[in-house]
Amino acid sequence: MKKLILGAMLCIAYISNAQTLDYNDIGVLFSNEKINGTARYNAMSGAFGALGGDLSSIDVNPAGAAVFINSEFAATLSINNSETTSTYYNNNSISENDATNLSQAGGVFVFGGNRNSDWGKTAIGFNYTMANDFEDLWFAQGNSGYPTWTQGPDDTNDVYLDSDGQYFESLTNGKNNKYSFTIATQHRDNLYFGFSLNTYDIEHYQRTLLEENNHDGSGNYLDASLLQELLTYGDGVSVSFGIIAKPNQNLRLGFAYKSPVWYNLSEEYVDYDQELYISSTDQLIKDFSGVNGFDYKLRTPSKTTLSGAYIFDKQGLISVDYTYKNYSNISLSEANFNDQNTAFKQNLESTGELRIGTEWRFDKLSLRGGYHIEQSPYKNAFDSDNLEGFSLGAGIKFRGGKIDVAYQKDNNTAPYNFYPDYNVNSAELDIDNTKVTATLVLNL
């Protein structure tokens, strides 16, 4: 019996790293910031690098704060829906999740410049953004035909080599909150400069459950399950700066650079419950490994954004942003992360993100639309793993402010391998996200 328990626990420990996200997955996840801001920003798919004049545009290009004519405050409520279809050995499972959040809040204060100086107005801004929302629940089930728990008790010599199926469930929640403190200024009538200090607080929780059902072909069966929890939390800091130029009254050009985010992270990892039930002897074996804690540092990749926009006088505009980011520059430190850092360089690559947005004005009513596509950072990714979507929206002005609404939809696929060291296929995930946002803007 001791050999059975030891063998089973070693087997569980061997595959346990496959359940919750590993350090390489965490590095990619924490390096990503979604299109999540004011409803006007979201409706144009975040293509604001050369425009400014919107609180969320500061996240792309800090120079956009100096484009504001008047001081204002904005707050945004978002309703998110995600639907995940998992395919595991030709078996499809569908899960759906909803969440409501305060996704943006901030203000900008504009100060007039000296009439005798080439330097015009100065703007100081603060903006909170929910850079990423980790709330999700999905599951996969099917039969790979490959059992990983096979050992029976010594006194019966039972071996469970036939598989009846597997079930895997992943629950995640938490947020990555970003706080931007910005100062920007205008030079004459055609140049804007801006600088931001960005701080982050991040929390990511994941609970996974793996169940496996095997039998020996003689009416005896083994049910095994593993429940794990991983909590990762910490804070980070980055800086960004940008320029917006107006070559003429209609054309806008933008450049922005955001440094890596330097995170200090802590984690708590638990094998909460490891359980085996063996029918031939009616044995139930349980184990609790306890909580393991660990501190480390993460550096995300920097990113550079080039932007252009054309203004059709007061009728409308078209805006385009392109962002470059090299995910192979992610690094972990404060421990022996040689294998993980090598994996970042070998398995990840640079990516491009394209955002296109447009807005057309009809008196006090504005109509908006956008398109965006972001490449997957994994070298072996399929085209469907790229995040692609569109957006729509509208806004209406009233005395003292305006109300904006937006609708966003995007899709991507992704593999999740919960048996990475066995000859078992990954579960293939097809992820649909929709989001509705509403923003109240008040002039100050």
* Digitized pLDDT (tens) for each residue of the chain, 444 residues in all: 222 332 333 333 333 444 788 899 999 999 999 999 999 999 999 999 999 999 999 999 999 999 999 999 999 999 999 999 999 999 999 999 999 999 999 999 999 877 778 888 999 999 999 999 999 999 999 999 998 888 755 655 678 889 999 999 999 999 999 999 999 999 988 999 999 999 999 999 999 999 999 988 888 888 888 888 999 999 999 999 999 999 999 999 999 999 999 999 999 988 666 667 777 667 677 776 677 888 999 999 999 999 999 999 889 999 999 999 999 999 999 999 999 999 999 999 999 999 999 999 999 999 999 999 999 999 999 999 999 999 999 999 999 999 999 999 999 999 999 888 788 999 999 999 999 999 999 998
CA dist list (Å): 325 to 31, 322, 352: 10, 10, 7
Residue at 194: amino acid letter: G
Q: Are 123 and 66 in contact (CB under 8 A)?
A: yes
Contact 182, 62 (CB under 8 A): yes
* 3-state SS assignment for residue 341: helix
Instruction: Concatenate the DSSP letters of all residues of 143-175 into one string.
Output: --S--S--B--TTTT-B--EEEEEEEEEEEEEE
One-letter amino acid of 178: K
Q: How far apart are CA 51 and CA 422, in angstroms?
A: 51
The tally of CA atoms less than 13 A away on the side-chain side of residue 364 is 8
Among 56, 76, 78, which residue's Cα sits nearest to residue 68? Answer: 56
Query: What is the distance between the alpha carbons of residues 152 and 270, in angstroms, rounded to a whole number?
Result: 26
CB atoms < 10 A from the CB of 369, how many?
Answer: 19
Q: What is the dihedral of CA 129, 132, 133, 139, to 10 degrees?
A: 170
Give me the domains of the chain, ranges plus CATH numbers: 2-443 (2.40.160.60)
> Strand (E) positions, 188-289?
191-215, 221-245, 251-258, 262-278, 283-287
Count CB-CB contacts under 10 A for residue 221.
Answer: 17
CA dist., res. 373 & res. 46, Å (int): 11
Query: Which residues have CB under 8 Å from 215's CB, separation 6+?
Result: 160, 162, 164, 221, 222
CA dihedral sign of residues 59, 64, 65, 71: negative
* Residue 152: predicted pLDDT: 59
Cα–Cα distances in angstroms (integers) from residue 24 to residues 113, 176, 320, 344, 347, in the given order? 48, 18, 31, 7, 10
- Cα-based angle 227, 228, 232 (whole degrees, multiple of 5): 160
DSSP 115: T
Contact (CB, 8 A) for 430 and 138: no
